[in-house]
Amino acid sequence: MKQSQTRNLATLVWLLVVAANAPAQSKGSLAPGAPGQDAKWANAGKQGVGTSNTLQSKVWFTLQGGVLTEVLYPSVDMPNVQLLQFIVVNPARPTVETEVDDVNSHVKVLSDRALLFRQINRARNGQWTITKTYATDPQRNTLLIDVKFETRNPGLDLYVYFDPSLNNSGMHDSAWTEGPALIAGDADKFSALLSSGGFTTPTNGFSGTSEGLEQLKQSGRIRTAYARAENGNVVQLAKINHPEHFALALGFGKSAGQALSQARGSLRKGFIACRREYEAGW
């Protein structure tokens, strides 16, 4: 066999392997299982509450049990998030660990004059640590999270699990993937979630029925990625690219485009600059 034929055959085999392991998804694929399980708000016992001391930013956030709970926008009586946490997966076994269930967590107050908090979550098995620092962009409706993922096992994957509950209700949301962003909306409240390193295999589903967490538990990866989930208790999940150190930006607006613009602007500015402005404002 000629060298060129051998090279072409090797390329074909590689493409077939990639296709076999890629998550199944069509551009218009809708998640089944609507509306999902009933939405429930988090425990009221908060360990941290933060917001910018500016008029331009209309975002407040709460922390509890090692995770992000409510994010309020555009006023303090309008919660739009139920939960944002990280999931650690060993795809070789497979095993799944969550920040809600499998960590020892503590909170540090980083300033004596600003609402600046850091959550440090250590896996109970001692294999990994997630450190998260929170700040809002004083110039935009965006919450930023600086994340460090340290592990003894380089084979572990990190996923973000985001449960929006827009417009003070978790049962009438829609969620979809738009380029590198996870978008969700209900009426005139929209959220956009971006990662500085990007996402892999994003999926949109319904809580307890078609959310990606169940796929991770079964096979250690996302086998079926849904492009959109309509009208229910939606959950968004995606694998983090370059998880060692990255930033998440969660933007809000009256439209999907406005929320995405807010998140993009804050991510371009960067967490360090946003934190500096946030802390100086207090």
pLDDT in tens, 50-104: 999 999 999 999 999 999 999 999 999 999 999 999 999 999 999 999 999 999 9
What is the pTM assigned to this prediction?
0.90
Determine the average pLDDT of the residues in 127-131. Answer: 97
Task: State which residues form the domain around 265.
Answer: 47-281
Which residue's structure tokens are 């500085």?
A: 196
Determine the average pLDDT of the residues in 129-136. Answer: 98
Q: Is residue 19 predicted with pLDDT exceeding 60?
A: no
User: Looking at the domain assignment, is residue 144 inside a domain?
Assistant: yes
User: Looking at the domain assignment, is residue 36 inside a domain?
Assistant: no
How much of the chain, in percent, has pLDDT values that exceed 70?
A: 90
User: Looking at the domain assignment, is residue 129 inside a domain?
Assistant: yes
Cβ neighbours around 270 below 10 Å, total? 16
User: Looking at the domain assignment, is residue 93 inside a domain?
Assistant: yes
User: Looking at the domain assignment, is residue 52 inside a domain?
Assistant: yes
Q: Residue 41's pLDDT band (boundaries 50, 70, 90)? A: confident
How much of the chain, in percent, has pLDDT values that exceed 90?
A: 84
Q: Is residue 162 predicted with pLDDT exceeding 80?
A: yes
CA gap 231, 233 in Å, rounded = 7
* Domain harbouring 144, CATH code: 2.70.98.10
- What is the number of domains present in the chain? 1
User: Looking at the domain assignment, is residue 11 inside a domain?
Assistant: no
Q: Give pLDDT tens digits for 209-240.
A: 999 999 999 999 999 999 999 999 999 999 99
